[in-house]
Amino acid sequence: MPTRTIAGKTVTVNDEGFMTNPAEWSKEIAAELATEEGLPALSEAHWKVIDFCRQEAAASGKAPTLRQITTGAAVSTKDLFALFPKGPAKKVARISGLGKPEGCV
């Protein structure tokens, strides 16, 4: 697995730059990954979603689906797309250090 340095910390990532170990994540890393994704500074609304995804993944072992995020973090799908434009599931997962959303194959 390749590694890279984000926000001064060396972490393992996959070929597409998704972190592979959620335990290596920090809030500073999230902020830097958000900048790479072209987002403005992370707002409270962003953090609500990121925190929910981190908690959910810690409990279930996998990144939540968009539907779980909208229900669990009480944010509408439209708002979620506004916060993380163009593929929020993938963007939130990357910023939250949870790996890429995957199908079975």
Partner 1 sequence: MKSLVILGAGTAGTTVANRLHALLDSDQWRITIVDQNETHYYQPGFLFIPFGIYSKNDVVKPKRDFIPAGVELIMSPIEHIDAEHNRVTLAKDRRILAYDFLVIATGCQTRPEQTPGLKDGAWGHTIHEFYTVDGAVALAKHLRTWRGGRLVVNVVDNPIKCPVAPLEFLMLADSYFTEHGLRDRVDITYATPLPGAFTKPIASRHLGDILERKSIKVVPDFLIERVDPDARRIVSYDEQSLEYDLLISVPLNMGDEVIARSGLGDDLNYVPVDKHTLQSTKFSNIFVLGDAASLPTSKAGSVAHFAVDCFADNFLRLIDGLDLLPTFDGHANCFIESGFGKGLLIDFNYDVEPLPGHYPLPGIGPFSLLQETEMNHWGKMMFRWMYWNLLLKGQELPLPARMTMAGKMYR
- Supply the residues annotated as catalytic: 104
The residue from 35, 58, 71, 74 that contacts partner 1 (CB under 8 A) is 71
Asked if 105 interacts with partner 1 (CB under 8 A), we say yes
Asked if 37 interacts with partner 1 (CB under 8 A), we say no
Point out which span in 2-10, 23-31, 38-46, 85-93 binds partner 1 (CB under 8 A): 85-93
The DSSP H or E segment spanning 91 is helix 88-95
Nearest-angstrom CA–CA distance, 9 and 11: 6
Q: How many residues bind partner 1 (CB under 8 A)?
A: 26
Nearest alpha-carbon partner for 88 in 103, 105, 68, 104 = 68
DSSP-derived 3-state class of residue 6:
strand
Asked if 60 interacts with partner 1 (CB under 8 A), we say yes
Nearest-angstrom CA–CA distance, 59 and 43: 24
Point out which span in 1-9, 34-42, 43-51, 54-62 binds partner 1 (CB under 8 A): 54-62
Whichever of 18 and 26 has its CB closer to partner 1, that residue is: 18
Name beta bridge partners: 13.
19
Specify the length of the chain in residues.
Answer: 105
Q: How far is the CB of 82 from partner 1 (least distance, A)?
A: 9
